[in-house]
Amino acid sequence: MSSATDHAEESNYLNAKPGLMSWLTTLDHKRIGVMYLISILTAFFIAGMLAMLVRTELLTPGRTIVDPDTYNQFFTLHGAIMVFMFIIPGIPAALGNFVLPLMLGAKDVAFPRLNLMSWYLWVFGGVFAVVSMVTGAVDTGWTFYTPYSTDTSTSVINMTLGVFILGFASIFTGINFVVTIHKLRPAGMTWWRMPLMLWGLYATAIIQVLATPVIGITMLLLIAERTLGVGIFDPALGGDPLLYQHFFWFYSHPAVYIMILPAMGVISELISVHSRKTIFGYQAIALSSVAIAAFSFIVWGHHMFTAMSPMANMVFSALTFSVSIPSAVKTFNWLATLYRGHIRLNTPMLYALSFLFLFGIGGLTGLFLGTLAVDVHLHDTYFVVAHFHYVMFGGTVIAFLGGLHHWWPKMFGRMYNEGLAKLACFLIFIGFNITFMSQFIMGSLGMPRRYYDYIDAYGSYHVWSSIGAYIMAVGFFLTAGYLIHSLIAGKKAVENPWGAATLEWRTASPPIEHNFHETPDANYPYDYSVNRFNPDTGNYDHIGAPAQEDDDRAVGFHGHGLESTT
């Protein structure tokens, strides 16, 4: 049995090798995860500030701070940077890179060099995308729809080239995760005994590998169209702008699941660990991830209801509804896990509960949009913007924050200020709902998205929306503050502060350079009877699997520090 104090003086992955170069040339998945974390948070900061500028401009009708062209660039850059540089790589590349090998009890991913290369590609692509801000920006909206994107004088090529390169980073992460999960599971970890986070990452990786090449060719075609002008998206020359939309959404709809599936994986871990109860419906949650991944490839047409034939619309509408089934399966299983659990209302759990609430709204409003008759009215209004943000922010970003707070002690070996963290979570939750609930209302009243100006009737909704955005910003700055503070002055984290049963909690916080002194043998990841709370250290010591191996899935663990079931 080992406790955190045994490892207190030991070197860890953060201090094992000094100097910036040791980071830039590292093959350690944990360091690459941290580098990805810093990178994506930088992108999140830039794109978040752009969102604040957008909301500030919309505070009053007409000009508030900038002219219409600049405003178009603000929301385009906000969307493009958020989607391609933060939400898509966010959970897999930052949190996933850090926890995936640890959860497998492995030393690293299968291809560490490819992993480092993925990060460099991200930086390279990111530079292209961000540099476009100063070389004329982009004003097409993050979807780069033709024909406008082939005509506008802004630097579309820079941005699309950036997206093209970022795609490779995503594919390489996907290949690494698929192979690592197939090949590096430890003895005792069958597919059905794998943490659900890994199922989420696995399903995500499949989509990354099989959908991302399509955005590659789409971006290439767009660049070719801008440079050669041969007319592939121009009906006058035999092309078709709809071809662009088909291509774009054939990637970008699955990409929505690249964003949400790992979030669902995170939530499965948080809910089970922090309600101290084995996950309900393990196989249903695992298989629904795979089902969502499969469905994700056949629903892209629902972005184009106002552009396709009635027959195609009906097919895509029906397919779209079917995606809600696996999503609902997950949600009910999470609720059933909470039922009669010993819920700890700490920060990760508060984020997990926020996720259930916000993703629930995001998912259900998706059904409105999947309904043809309703969509014709709601298409291109703020209702779509609100729906998208409830799923992408209320789902993915909230899950990312929950996961970050859950794994923060493991990543950096420090505890953050719990009181401030709860306050920040509350501010973000309240601010978010104010921002986007008002957008649901004004969208259903007909306020079109992307508009610079609006009639006075929408004025109060826009003001509320902007106020909500500022509240969120305060929450985020607070989060940045206490997390940075924890790195300097936070209480030292024990090995397993939450009493989780997955393998990453069986090594020191932060982990040693090669993760484990000896490969841990895997138990069922939601069997909390393998731990015993030690009141002296505050750690949940690993005491091994109970004697009745066969029954280990059914064992729930009620309360802190109970004796083992043997």
Interaction between residue 112 and another protein (CB under 8 A): yes
**Nearest CB to another protein, comparing residues 109 and 447:** 109
Binding to another protein (CB under 8 A) within 412-441 occurs at none
Query: Which one of residues 250, 390, 408, 432 is an interface residue with another protein (CB under 8 A)?
Result: 250
Residues 31, 14: Cα–Cα separation, whole Å: 7
The three-class DSSP label of residue 143 is coil
Residue 500 · residue 512 · CB < 8 Å: no
**Nearest CB to another protein, comparing residues 223 and 543:** 223
Interaction between residue 290 and another protein (CB under 8 A): no
Closest CA to 412 of 490, 502, 496: 490
Interaction between residue 213 and another protein (CB under 8 A): yes
Q: Which stretch binds another protein (CB under 8 A): 173-181, 191-199, 280-288, 305-313?
A: 173-181
Interaction between residue 189 and another protein (CB under 8 A): no
Residues 226, 149: Cα–Cα separation, whole Å: 8
Interaction between residue 113 and another protein (CB under 8 A): no
Residue type, 493: A
Burial class for 485, CB neighbours closer than 10 Å (0-12, 13-18, 19+):
middle
The structure tokens 């998206």 sit at 233
CB of 185 to another protein, least distance (A): 10
Count the site residues for another protein by CB under 8 A: 43
Interaction between residue 183 and another protein (CB under 8 A): yes
Q: Give the x-and-dash track for 358-397 against another protein (CB under 8 A).
A: ----------------------------------------
H helical segments located in 233-305: 241-274, 282-295
510 upstream amide cis, omega within 30 of 0: yes
Residue 130 burial (CB count, 10 A):
20
Tokens in use for 217? Answer: 């060719």
CB of 21 to another protein, least distance (A): 17
Q: Which stretch binds another protein (CB under 8 A): 205-213, 284-292, 435-443, 500-508?
A: 205-213
Q: Give the x-and-dash track for 214-243 against another protein (CB under 8 A).
A: x-xxx--x--x---xxxxx----xxxx--x
CB of 514 to another protein, least distance (A): 5
CB of 423 to another protein, least distance (A): 41
Closest CA to 192 of 273, 97, 279: 279
Tokens in use for 175? Answer: 């290949």
The three-class DSSP label of residue 12 is coil
Residue 317 · residue 372 · CB < 8 Å: yes
CB of 398 to another protein, least distance (A): 30
Interaction between residue 175 and another protein (CB under 8 A): yes
Residues 124, 147: Cα–Cα separation, whole Å: 28
Interaction between residue 182 and another protein (CB under 8 A): yes
Residues 6+ apart with CB under 8 A from 213: 167, 171
What residue ranges bind another protein (CB under 8 A)?
Answer: 106-112, 114, 171, 174-176, 178-179, 182-184, 209-214, 216-218, 221, 224, 228-232, 237-240, 243, 246-247, 250, 513-514
